[in-house]
Chain A
Amino acid sequence: MALFRLKFNRSKYLLLLFLPALIYYILFKYVPMFGILISFKDYNPFKGIWQSDWVGLKYYSMFFHSPDFPKLLKNTVLLGVYKVVFGFPAPIILALLLNEVRKGVVKRLVQSISYLPHFISNVVVVSMMFLFLSPTSGLVNHLIEWMGYSSVNFMQNENYFRTLYILSEIWQHIGWETIIYLAALSAIDPQLYEAATVDGASRWHQLRHITVPGIMPAIVILFILNIGHVLDIGFEKVLLMLNPSIYSTADVLSTYVFRTGIQAMNYSYGTAIDLFTSVVNLLFILTANWISRKTSETSLW
């Protein structure tokens, strides 16, 4: 007890600093979590959460029996997996390439240009895609036609959706995500490189044995965090790109929740699907963390 008091006294100002954050999390992150109750109830906004009737797993079974369920799950998982497979390594590769650039000016220029798209909103990015890729007036199709090929209806072809989504995601975020790896790179002790050079290691060897292992902890942590969002596919951008001809590949859980849960006011149904998504995400993150703990020293906990 005495020890506790001593510790408390010593850190009371720190705790005071922490207090606003704690209150924020309780109020805005933990309290709203009780809202998931409505996925087990026939939620009636006039009655409120407590007074609404319990219906058990009705909305979950409704969702699992929906003819769209397999399609939605497949689209969401595929898009999430592609994003991890292609989107995750992209900033690492850029960071490693930038690291090899010896001229400071060039490095800074590339960095600035590559992180600017991060500040463009999704609405604008998708409008740009529609404009550039339009078969009636788009620049890209004019170019294709000029080269003697027939124009491609990019935004209305289900086979192009995933590629376009992932490519634009990479374009938007590559520079921004590179920053964290560049920071990790700068933390590597320069003496290691000097020693390696003395030992006769080539640039490639240095990269393999010093640079990559040096930023590995950062990579692993970010990877685990990324895995936790496999099913949280950016709702806004998919919704903006969505049109009837690409439903079969582009309709994902979040757009479905928006349509049937929010627009059609089936709040309980929407919440049930959302909770399902979160549970799957949690499973992903736990698995990734477990694997990482078994195979390397780095893990979230």
Chain B
Amino acid sequence: MNKKTAVVLSAVMGASVVLGACSKNNNEGASPSPSASATTSASAGASASAAPTTITPQTFTFLDYSNPSWPYDANWKIWSYIKEKTGVTLDIQLPAGNLLEDAISLAIAGGDMPDIMWTQEKRLADKFGQQGALVNILDYVDDMPNFKAWMEKYPAETQNMLSSDGKMYEFPNQGLGESNRRTWMYREDVFKKLNLSTPKTWDELYETLKKLKAEYPDSYPLTVRNGLRYFEDFAAGFGVSAPVDAQRVSAYLDGTSGEWKYAPIQPAYKDMLVYFNKFYKDGLIPKDFLTIDTKMWQDIVSTNRAFVTLDYIGRIDFYNSALRKDNPDFSMNFMAPPAGPTGLQKNAFTAVTEEGFMISSKSKKIKDIVKFIDFFYSEEGHKLVSWGKEGDTVSGDSFIEKYTDISDLRKKTGLSTDGTYTWFDFNAHISVSSPELKSAYEQAPQYDNAKTSTPPFTPEEQQVLSTKGDSLNSHRDENFAKFIMGTRSFDTWDKFVEEQKKLGYEEILEIYKKADERAKAAVK
């Protein structure tokens, strides 16, 4: 983040607090019961100094997500910690079939919303918030001294949570985004054996992969999963990093011009596809790269058929701890991103998460709920949800029990599981990582691309993005695949650009620009 934006953003926060206060007046629908406001106004006065975060013991209904890797457990220690500190018991409902989005839509449509809901996507909060189903958090900032201080500390995170109407329907999140970080990785032991060094540029990458292929003819030295999704990461080295998935349009904020641009039509993007076309022709990536799923990817990596990959950083431990049992030399390690033609050595910025709490506008306990959630933004709450209780799970800055990995920690304690955090100390996760992963966490951030976030859209804009955008996206994906597989010649690149234009990328960029300007204007 450059200095100028930092200044703008920090100016932002005070402003949005005022903004929140203004919009309070036209939101009578959400006025809490008189008894609740009476109890809270007393403590609000005292909140300037160390605020008493305890509220009257009570129960809130909470629609939470249960991650299949660490399924919800009512006996997790975290629930009793939270209860101890805030007096709140959470009556947790889990979405049927684990479909959180559907469960939320259903609860809202049915009018029988739980007090609190957990979301994994901000667009959901924006959509239902603008329809009136969710509380505008900014209306209650005065009841949340810790949150207020937090917003000043993390203006970017706060701003990212604003909706297109300048309100906030989901509580912002900081710290755990690190676990979503993606990076290049390589098989250190194999590279050492063949006397190869990690490639510094994409040309070197090509040569290195070819050497690996020559040594292991049955291998696909570079293998990733999930189709074209990681092209967002690959493109960072070419300066055109933008999302490539079915739901999102490949727009990005260009660092040098400060303008929104459309990635797939940039010459740099073509350069990258040319590399992949070479990779495909020479068998350096799997022929069925578009349909490699997680299982197949794991098979290929664990049977010495892939030596360079790109995935979540935590996969370093995932592979090392599983495969060293049979092959003590096995060593997956962090690799710096190779530089593209212009010398950029970058990874896409992926250390973000959109998960967070939302409050039902129909709840009768809004004032108490915001006080409850405010606890999560206090230093005490920060430590509690990251490390647990002193003497019970944590002693000083390390866990008492030895956990084999992060999911072991999650399964045993419930710490850092869905619905238990908003502000997280990532050192807690680092402390249970292997030395390789620890060093990866230290090295990775220096290759980070500038942090950009999608501007918030109005419901009408979202509709255009999802319908027109879908035609644009499927045409994009289809042709990326064809260029890579060589079924479409790069001679027709100009025609491809023309086709994308016809499908309306300009109109969509216009929406991005407008939304971005609106968001900036709202916080000025």
A contact residues vs B (CB 8 Å cutoff): 44-48, 62, 66-68, 130, 134-136, 151, 153, 155-156, 243-245, 247-248, 251, 256, 259-260, 263-266, 269
Interface centre among B228, B246, B300, by most chain A C-beta atoms within 10 angstroms, is: B246
8 Å CB contact of A68 from B108, B128, B132, B474: B474
Interface status of B396 (Cβ within 8 A of chain A) = no
Shortest Cβ distance from B111 into A: residue: A48
Question: What residues of A have a CB within 8 angstroms of the CB of B101 in the complex?
Answer: 265
Residues of B within 8 A of A251 (CB): 474
CB within 8 Å for A68 and B471 given contacts A46-B108, A243-B227: yes
* Cα of A48 to Cα of B300 in the assembled complex, Å: 49
Does B156 have its Cβ within 8 Å of any Cβ on chain A? no
Find chain B residues with CB under 8 A from A266 CB: 463, 466-467
Q: Which one of B42-50, B62-70, B287-295 is at the A interface?
A: B287-295
Query: CA separation between A243 and B247, bound complex, in Å?
Result: 14
Tell me which of B128, B286, B287, B485 has the highest count of chain A C-beta atoms within 10 A of its own C-beta.
Answer: B287
Residues on B with beta carbons closer than 8 Å to the beta carbon of A46: 108-109, 128, 131-133
Can you report 8 A-B residue pairs in the complex whose CB atoms are below 8 A from each other? A46-B133, A66-B467, A151-B287, A245-B290, A259-B247, A263-B247, A264-B470, A265-B124
Q: Is the CB of A260 within 8 A of B290?
A: no
* A265-B105 contact given A136-B288, A243-B227, A244-B480, CB 8 Å threshold: yes
What residues of B have a CB within 8 angstroms of the CB of A269 in the complex? Answer: 463, 467
Chain A nearest CB, measured from B457 CB (Å): 12
Is the beta-carbon distance between A260 and B127 smaller than 8 angstroms?
Answer: no
> A130 → chain B, closest Cβ, in Å?
6
Question: How many Å lie between the Cα of A240 and that of B466 in the bound state?
Answer: 21
Q: A198 to B291: give the CA distance in the assembly, Å.
A: 61
- CB B471 to nearest CB in A, in angstroms, measures 5
- Report Cα–Cα, A260/B462, bound state, in Å: 11
Quick one: given A156-B290, A247-B477, are A67 and B471 in contact (CB under 8 Å)? yes
Q: Mark B244-263, 1 if CB is under 8 A from A, else 0.
A: 00110000000000000000
B202 adjacent to chain A (CB < 8 Å): no
What residues on A are CB-neighbors of B468 within 8 Å? 66
Determine if B478 is an interface residue (Cβ-Cβ < 8 Å): yes
B131 and A244 within 8 A (CB): no
Nearest chain A CB to B225's CB is how many angstroms away?
Answer: 12
Residues of the A chain whose Cβ atoms lie less than 8 Å from the Cβ of B474? 68, 244, 247, 251
Inter-subunit contact B246/A259 (CB<8 Å): yes
Majority SS at the chain A contact face: loop
Interface of B is mostly: helix
Our pick among A47, A68, A156, A265 for the contact of B291 (Cβ within 8 Å) is A156
Chain A's closest residue to B295 (CB) is A127
Q: Does B220 contact A (CB under 8 A)?
A: yes
- Which residues on B sit within 8 Å (CB–CB) of A44? 131
Would you give the shortest CB distance from B163 to chain A, in whole angstroms?
15
Q: Which of A48, A66, A260, A263 contacts B109 (CB 8 A)?
A: A48
Chain A residues with CB under 8 Å of B228's CB are 244
**Closest CB of chain A to B458's CB: distance in Å?**
13
Task: Tell whether, in the assembled complex, residue A244 and residue B481 are in contact, meaning their CB atoms are under 8 Å apart.
Answer: yes
Assembled-state Cα–Cα distance A154/B300 (Å): 19
State the CA gap A244–B109 with chains docked (Å): 34
Q: Restricting to B295-331, which residues have a CB under 8 Å from any CB of A? A: 296, 300
In the complex the two chains form, what is the Cα distance from A259 to B131 in whole Å? 22
Task: State whether A130 and B132 are in contact (beta carbons under 8 Å apart), knowing that A67-B471, A244-B478 are contacts in the complex.
Answer: no
Please give me the residue from chain B that is nearest to A154 by CB atom.
Answer: B288
Given contacts A245-B481, A256-B470, contact A45 B291 (CB under 8 A): no
- Alpha-carbon gap, A47 to B468, bound state (A): 26
Query: How far is it, in angstroms, between the C-alpha of A44 and the C-alpha of B108 when the chains are bound?
Result: 10
Interface residues of B in 442-481 (CB under 8 A from A): 462-463, 466-468, 470-471, 474-475, 477-478, 480-481
Are A244 and B470 closer than 8 Å at their CB atoms?
Answer: no
Which residues from chain A contact B470 at a C-beta distance below 8 Å? 68, 256, 259-260, 264
Residue from B288, B463, B470, B502 with most neighbouring chain A CB atoms (10 Å): B288
- Residue in chain B with minimal CB distance to A247: B478
Q: Compute how far the CA of A245 lies from the CA of B287 in the bound complex, rounded to whole angstroms.
A: 12
* Assembly CA distance A244 to B462 (angstroms): 23
Report the minimal beta-carbon distance from A82 to chain B, rounded to whole angstroms: 21
Contact of A155 among B105, B133, B247, B288 (CB under 8 A): B288
Are A260 and B227 interface neighbours, CB within 8 A?
no
What's the Cα separation between A263 and B127 when bound, in Å? 13
Inter-chain contacts of B127 with A (CB < 8 A): 265
Given the known A-B contacts A44-B131, A45-B109, are A245 and B466 also in contact in the complex, defined by CB atoms under 8 Å? no
